[in-house]
Amino acid sequence: MARRGLGSERVEHWGLLENNINQTCASSSASIISAGLVAPIPALAILTGQTLSWPVLSVWLFTVSCIGVLVGLSLRRQMLIVQDLPFPSGIATAETVREIYAEGKEATSRVRYLLGGGTLSALTKVCSDFLYTLPQLGPTFGVGMWKLPVSITSRSLGFVIDPSFLMVGFGAIVGLRVGLSLFIGAIVAWGVVAPWLFMTGRVPVPSAEQTVYGNAVEFLLWPGVAMMVTSALVSFSFSLPGLIRSLFPDNEEETQVEKPSETEEDEVTDNPGVPGKLLLIGFLLAIIGTTLAQVLIFGIEPQMGLLAVALTFVLAVVAARVSGETGIPPIGALGKVTQLTFGFVNPTNVTENLMTANVTGGAAGQCSDLLHDLKAGLLLGASVRAQAAAQFLGVLVGSMAGSAAYLILIPDPASMLLTKEWPAPAVATWKAVAELFRDGIDAAPSGAMTASILGALIGAALAILYQMLPKKRAEWCPSAVSLGLAFVIPAFNSISLCLGAVAAAIAMRVAPTWSRRFILPIAAGLVAGESLAGVASALTTLLAGG
């Protein structure tokens, strides 16, 4: 419309790079829900009755998210270029945008495969949501050897094939090492440890209103998170000197870098990122702003606010590493780390427990989202500085729009949530952890601390082993980050990711030429199709009144 009204010579063509910047802005705006709207803010309202006005809530979401954006920008070179993590959502986005603007016979063929994958996953999602709930596939085996009730079976433990193509698409992108590591982690966590937990009574057998996953994950997240945290931090420490140098480069000349992934054929030219001095100024302002927001809005002690911000930097690194390998940011699990930390420091303060965890979890989520966007921008050749500006703009708009939508849709969390119509499982989990510390109950299940130490040792050992081995042998070293993630997500998600990775590996072996041309478009289509169908399904349900 603008080109038609103003003349094509006065409005530049809306091309691939403009589309990427637009997508970056929209993505950061949508990710504002991870800044607290999903769990800690409604949990606080339920436990204390404290609600926030629209201006105050907007400021809170903005300050929390800004830290995540700044951490993501500082980690860009380390995560995307040095460690060359796949960030599957970013690859899928880049492939989708690229095919939209591609021309020629080859491009037409790739678009057909992309649209075919997208149509298949979208139709499956729509059918399951509105027409017929597709069942999870797989035989049911009892676990009588563990002397458990008949309700504990292979199916209830999650060993089924889920009728969803989203994770399969992610699996085809992340690769065989990550896929197999997730599968091994699922076998250990849900095939061995979970039945043992029920047998020994460390975790109660679920009642009719409960689930095997919901009960067992309260224990399994301890070793799983410990494994992810230590592995990510040890891996990060190996290249910390390079990260520091990248923040203060001697010059800003463009540098030719290696291919970002095995599936990408063309070399990518890196471009100057945000200057290190500007990042430091931004960090200083964000630290002051977030600490003041905690003090003024929630009455949190300044030193506790600063501790929450410091913990944010550590956990954002972990979230970025996990999300970069698997496409799944473990925001809920990392939020528990902060809740547990502050629960031991000041066990009776519910507000402090929830909102400090809100800072770390929200910032880690925004950091992960930005790195997926930056991965897409790297593959497409977008300006890092333009993407940074788009992210901050998206955070600003998302903070205002998201807080308004939350206050309109959920004006009374105490009466509306944790009901049959709005079960809000994330809110229930955050609320439960805060209540445990408030009431003076030991939050750690029996044996959880020992399991955490064991998980931490395994995570550190595998991370060091991966760094020490030659590159070809290192590819056969299990990913500790993926193993740990398998402890905190349902087993069928790990199975789907593994199936996608194995299918892509087999295709590369059987038909390498075809696979290099079409696996990535198919995987991108599977991810994009179900994602778009999920958004449409949610909006339809919302407009229909639930």
pLDDT of residue 475 exceeding 50, the answer is yes
Tens-place pLDDT, residues 307-343 = 888 888 888 888 888 888 877 776 666 666 677 777 6
Burial of 420 (C-beta count, 10 Å sphere; 0-12/13-18/19+): exposed
Q: What is the mean pLDDT of residues 269-281?
A: 73
Question: What is the rounded distance in angstroms from the CA atom of residue 49 to the CA atom of residue 42?
Answer: 9
Contact between residue 257 and residue 81 where contact means Cβ atoms under 8 Å apart: yes
Percent of the chain with pLDDT over 90: 16
Tens-place pLDDT, residues 39-79 = 788 888 888 888 889 999 999 999 988 988 998 888 888 88
Contact between residue 60 and residue 36 where contact means Cβ atoms under 8 Å apart: yes
Tens-place pLDDT, residues 411-460 = 888 887 765 556 555 676 667 667 666 655 455 677 888 898 999 999 99
Q: What is the pLDDT of residue 182?
A: 93
In sequence order, the 6+-apart residues with CB closer than 8 A to the CB of 282 are 66, 70
Of 24-38, 76-90, 509-523, which range is least confident?
24-38
In sequence order, the 6+-apart residues with CB closer than 8 A to the CB of 306 are 287, 291
pLDDT of residue 80 exceeding 90, the answer is no
Q: What is the pLDDT of residue 56?
A: 93
Phi/psi region, residue 489 (left: phi>0; alpha: psi -120 to 50; beta: rest), is beta
pLDDT of residue 476 exceeding 60, the answer is yes
pTM more than 0.75: no
* Residue that wins the pLDDT comparison between 260 and 225: 225
Domain ranges of the chain: 15-543
Tens-place pLDDT, residues 334-346 = 666 677 777 676 6
Q: What is the mean pLDDT of residues 199-218?
A: 82
Q: What is the mean pLDDT of residues 291-315?
A: 87
Band the pLDDT of 21: cuts 50, 70, 90: confident
Q: What is the mean pLDDT of residues 233-250?
A: 63
Percent of the chain with pLDDT over 70: 80
Most confident listed range (26-40, 98-112, 184-198, 207-221) = 184-198
Question: What is the rounded distance in angstroms from the CA atom of residue 388 to the CA atom of residue 375?
Answer: 13
Q: What is the pLDDT of residue 271?
A: 57
Question: What is the rounded distance in angstroms from the CA atom of residue 368 to the CA atom of residue 123?
Answer: 28
Of 175-184, 438-447, 491-500, which range is least confident?
438-447
Mean of pLDDT over the chain: 80
In order, the DSSP letters of 157-226 are TT-SB-S-SHHHHHHHHH-HHHHHHHHHHHIIIIIIIHHHHHHHTSSPPP-TTS-HHHHHHHHHHHHHHH
Q: What is the pLDDT of residue 206?
A: 83
Nearest one of 309, 320, 319 to 285, comparing CA atoms? 309
Radius of gyration of the chain (CA): 23
pLDDT of residue 533 exceeding 70, the answer is yes
